[in-house]
Structure 1
Amino acid sequence: MTKTALKLLLFFFIAGAFSGAFAQNLKINPKPISHFEINADTFLGYDSFGYSYQIKNNVFSKIKEKEVFEYKNVSLGNITKVDLQNPLKIVLYYDAFNTVLLLDNQLNKITEINFSQNTTPIVVSAIGMSTQNQLWIYNTLNQQIGLFDYLKNEYKTISNPLTEAIKYYQTDFNTFYWIDKKNNWFSCDIFGKITALGKAADFDKIEIINPHQYIFRKGNLLYFKDITDTNSNTISEIEILEKSFDNFCYKDQILSIFTAKEITNYKIVTP
């Protein structure tokens, strides 16, 4: 190999290395917009009416300024899952008793469903609000995704059995998203159509924004990933003020960082 060819090869190798490093280290700088103290074990996020939701000592709370609503049910054990998509029908799930509660906007109980008493055996390991008076259900007994009509008390399976265990899941009205133990990312619509969305980055916690974007935490750092980016290695770090934090949530371009005593809200515009 000539010296000229060797120099060109070395140039392209170094350029490629710098390009890869740059792709991994893009920065997003969100703007802090509010900051306040909080007394909670878990901060759950906000609704479109400006109420915040939290859990303290297994008491579920809805708060806006001096307005406070609370709900507790000591007979069902600890709250396992909360779905806030519909503030008029909030979903609380208690896995110790395989039971879901629906609450109204003042946290009064609308209905209680014990899936262990259902005519079709159901053991719930994933749940969320769907459309047309239905709940998303992942039934551990058959490893399938289904929909449960809570007015008719009817359950229907819509997917084939999943081949890998669910590591993380998230729902909206029309879609059940999940990431399996191998970090493969999928979606299922209300008709049972399953779509492979790609491979998720390794994460400690993750929040899906849409079928091609997500925010994830690894250690004490936050990152943004867009799987449609032409450079599959592109991961953008979200630079926040907190050196450590307990949790985060994202909704409508607001990133909320939760520590043991306070919440900081950032305005964030993802690429």
Structure 2
Amino acid sequence: MVNTIRYTFVSLLVFFSTFSILSAQDDSLFTLQKNIPGNISSFAVDNLENLYILNSSGQLKKLTEKGDSLAVFNNVKKYGEATLIDVSNPLKILLYYRDFSTVVVLDRLLNMRTAIDLRKTDILQAGTVALSYDSKIWVYDEVQNKLKKIDDEGKLLLETPDFRLLFNQTAQPQNIFDQDKLVYLYDSIQGFFVFDYYGALKNKILITKWKHVRIVGKYIYGTDGAFIYRYNITTFRYDKWPVPAAIAGARKIYFTANRLYVLNDQGINVYGFR
């Protein structure tokens, strides 16, 4: 458990250090590769480009990049509506049910390994969760205003101090990302809070009001509805592109290293993305 944390940090104010705008009319930038029709409520893509589709009937299906079915999980509705799918590790899949404060852990074939009722671990209201690099689980406790790490049995492994002591205000992160030995909490109002694996605050990235945020390698992707943004964590380079009309109004946008997955009412469109 971490009792202390660095109170000084580097605010990343070099946001506009390098800036470029590419035309959305450039066919090489967004190229429609395929369409996956269906009444789909959510989805995620792992680092092998396997697609995990949650349909309106509560079924979770795993598809290969070519569209072949690999596995199915049918007990999704048991805990209500899944609000998050984490497939950052294809061998261990997380489903989070915020209304029931429950994390369901699946194996690579979508067999249930365990279900964690966070309320039984003294986490009464969890804003979001994510898988850690060592296959544990990051949780943001909205009541205690702390980032916590737990194991599959719900045992607390570490926690940060109360965010109200660090920043004189609460945080409401919508996403947690475990990337390259750092943990990123994204609050669309305040930006990214960046911690190391021991819960020590490293810095803050002042990117706000983005939706559909993803961290892929050294890049942070997101959109505000008008533009698609890409921010290089290493060089501070900041790029943006106008959102093409075909993507505008998407229910969900999911960035990978070279593809853009876009969910609309008809299904998922997959675009090549440079």
Question: The TM-score by the shorter chain falls in which range?
Answer: 0.7 to 0.9
Residue 59 in 1 paired to residue 59 in 2? yes
Counterpart position of 1:8: none
Given that 2:188 and 2:209 are in contact with CA atoms closer than 8 Å, whether structure 1 keeps it comes out as no
Given that residues 91 and 100 in structure 1 are in contact (C-alpha distance below 8 angstroms), is that contact kept between their aligned partners in structure 2?
yes
The residue that corresponds to 2:265 in the other structure is 260
Structure 2 match to 1:141: 143
Q: TM-score scaled by structure 2?
A: 0.76
The aligned residue for residue 176 of structure 2 is 170
Equivalent residues of 1:169, 1:176 under 8 A apart: no
Q: Percent identity?
A: 18
- CA RMSD between the two structures: 2.9
5+ residue gaps, structure 2, are 1-15, 164-168
Matches within 5 A, 1:171-210: 171-172=177-178, 174-180=181-187, 182-210=189-217
Aligned mates of 2:230, 2:113 — CA distance in 1: 38
Q: What's the CA shift string for 1:53-85, capped at 9, x where partnerless?
A: 111123222123342532223331111211101
Matches of 1:172 and 1:267, distance apart in 2: 25
Could you tell me which amino acid in structure 2 is paired with residue 94 of structure 1?
Y
Change (3 A) 1:90 1:261: same
Once the two structures are superposed, residues 163-215 of structure 1 have per-residue CA deviations (whole angstroms, 9 ceiling, x without a partner) of 3322432322643312335333221222112122321143243223356x322
Pairwise CA distance, 1:217: 1.6
Deviations 1:129-163 (A, max 9, x none): 11334110111221101110115x42033312123
Change beyond 3 A, Cα 1:223–1:131: closer
Of 196-205 and 219-228, more deviation after overlay is shown by 219-228
- Alignment of structure 1 residues 1-271 onto 2, 5 Å: 23=19, 25-27=21-23, 29=26, 30-32=29-31, 34-57=33-56, 58-64=58-64, 65-71=67-73, 72-118=75-121, 120-150=122-152, 153-162=154-163, 163-172=169-178, 174-180=181-187, 182-210=189-217, 213-226=219-232, 234-237=238-241, 240=244, 242-244=246-248, 245-269=250-274
Q: Does the aligned pair in 2 maintain the 1:164–1:180 contact within 8 Å?
A: no
CA separation of 1:52/1:156 partners in 2, compared to 1, >3 Å: closer, same or farther? same
The answer on whether the counterparts of 1:126 and 1:169 sit within 8 Å (CA) in structure 2 is yes
Q: Which moved more, 1:172-181 or 1:183-192?
A: 172-181
Within 2, Cα distance between the matches of 1:41 and 1:216?
A: 21
Uncovered stretches (5+) of structure 1, i.e. residues with no partner: 1-19
Q: Highest CA radius of gyration, 1 or 2?
A: 1
Q: 1:114 to 1:225 in 2, by over 3 A?
A: same
SS in 2 for 1:166: coil
Higher RCO (Cα < 8 Å, 6 or more apart): 2
Q: Which moved more, 1:235-244 or 1:31-40?
A: 235-244
| Distance in 2 of aligned mates of 1:43 and 1:96 | 16
Question: How many equivalent pairs are there?
Answer: 244
1:231-266 Cα offsets, whole Å, 9 max, x none, are 8xx542156461522221112222222222243333
C-alpha distance 171-230 of structure 1, shift in aligned 2 (>3 A): closer
Structure 1 length as normaliser, TM-score?
0.76
* Higher helix content, 1 or 2: 1
